[in-house]
Amino acid sequence: MKMNKIWLLWEIPLACLSFLFNKIVKFAIGNLFTIYLALNKKKASQWRVLSAKMIKAPLVLPVLMTKGPRWNTHAIIGTLGPFKVTEAIAIDTKTANQSARSWIAVVYSFPRYKTVTSLESEQLDSNSSWQTIKLPAGRYSLGVRYYNRAEIINYPALKIDEQLFVEPYNIPSDINKYYHDLINAKNWFYSSLHYYIFTILKLRNYLPESFVRSEYLPVGAPATHFAYNYLDAKQTLQIATAPEIIEQFDIYFTFYDRSSLPLTWCIITEPKYTLAPQYKQGYFLVRIRPKPEFSATEIKVKSEILLLDSSNQHLTIGNSHVNPNSSPKAIV
């Protein structure tokens, strides 16, 4: 499909300015938040679980909009740290397993926030109460995402070098309800911060896929497959999923507006799903994870996006032997 040349004349310069603005703000806010956590020892030793109350705290929403802007509307997300480690940490997996049938713990370096290692519930012996992760001496933070939650939810205790660092932390089961009002936080700042994302997705056939992927995607777990693309205003998205994928995988769909705030989301449970035309431009992200009972599945997910015309996009999700983290093929 031919790109509108007039659209490109103003869209590309604005996208370049947005990209530069994003990187400058990300650097500045990241440093401010690092200093805040380093000075506030009490906050560092408490679970910080995303909630309506938490995102109203100073710096929290700007930090999230720069470090993890593709909101995971399907998981409860908690972070802990930074903390100093000499040899190892141990996670209270019994509490985590009682709170969620599927969960992921990710260890990040501090202050650079690079992923050091991750731990998934499906990898563990369900009879074990603690899981030890050996680490080089240094400072780290921990992020835990809960899927398939129970009615009673507790974040796990953590030991550092065999010493208890934090006790289990109870949270309400409806803590994620704040997502329904998150779009009300939209303003010129967040719109400018993420304006370029729509543009690079629309031009992804002309850009290195590794660049598009690194700018758009969150840091994912190894077992998660992602499918994503832009969606123009009044454009319909049709998703066709193979029956074996429906049976063995959880398929989490989220649609964001251009400021990267979520507008609508759902879990896809049928082979055919249609997102009705939206009134504004945006982009979508599909997270595809094995269901807990199929954690050992040999199915490799493949996705392909086809732009049928200016009014319709079609996404197919099926079985393939390619790496589950490989990027979806986009014919746009």
pLDDT in tens, 162-178: 999 999 999 999 999 99
pLDDT at 202: 93
**pTM assigned to the model:** 0.89
DSSP assignment of 25-59: HHHHHHHHHHHHHHH-HHHHTS-EE--HHHHTSTT
Confidence class for position 20, pLDDT limits 50, 70, 90: very high
Q: Is the pLDDT of residue 301 over 70?
A: yes
For the chain, domains (ranges, CATH) are 40-177 (2.60.120), 186-331 (no CATH)
pLDDT in tens, 86-100: 999 999 999 999 999
Confidence class for position 220, pLDDT limits 50, 70, 90: low
Q: What percent of the chain has pLDDT over 90?
A: 72
**In a 3-state reduction of DSSP, which class is residue 312?**
strand
**In a 3-state reduction of DSSP, which class is residue 258?**
coil
pLDDT at 59: 86
Confidence class for position 325, pLDDT limits 50, 70, 90: very low
Work out the average pLDDT over 239-266.
Answer: 96
Work out the average pLDDT over 321-328.
Answer: 48
The Cα 36–Cα 257 span in angstroms is 30
**Token output for 306:** 């086809």
Q: What angle is formed at CA 245 by the lines to CA 240 and CA 248, rounded to 5 degrees?
A: 150
The Cα 282–Cα 305 span in angstroms is 16
Work out the average pLDDT over 315-328.
Answer: 67
pLDDT at 183: 95
pLDDT at 330: 53
pLDDT in tens, 47-106: 999 999 999 888 889 999 998 889 999 999 999 999 999 999 999 999 999 999 999 999
Work out the average pLDDT over 216-240.
Answer: 88
Q: Is the pLDDT of residue 323 over 50?
A: no
- Indicate the average pLDDT of the chain: 90
Q: Is the pLDDT of residue 255 over 90?
A: yes
Cα-Cα-Cα-Cα dihedral sign, residues 301, 307, 308, 313: positive
Q: Is the pLDDT of residue 219 over 50?
A: yes
pLDDT in tens, 172-201: 999 999 999 999 999 999 999 999 999 999
Confidence class for position 296, pLDDT limits 50, 70, 90: confident
Q: CA of 162: how far to CAs of 132, 133, 157, in Å?
A: 9, 11, 12
More confident residue, 121 or 152: 152
DSSP assignment of 170-233: EE-TTGGGGGGGGGGG--HHHHHHHHHHHHHHHTGGGS-HHHHHHHH-----TT-EEEEEEE-T
pLDDT at 57: 86
Of 221, 277, 271, the residue nearest 251 (C-alpha): 271
pLDDT at 322: 45
Ramachandran angles phi, psi of 272, nearest 5°: -120, 125
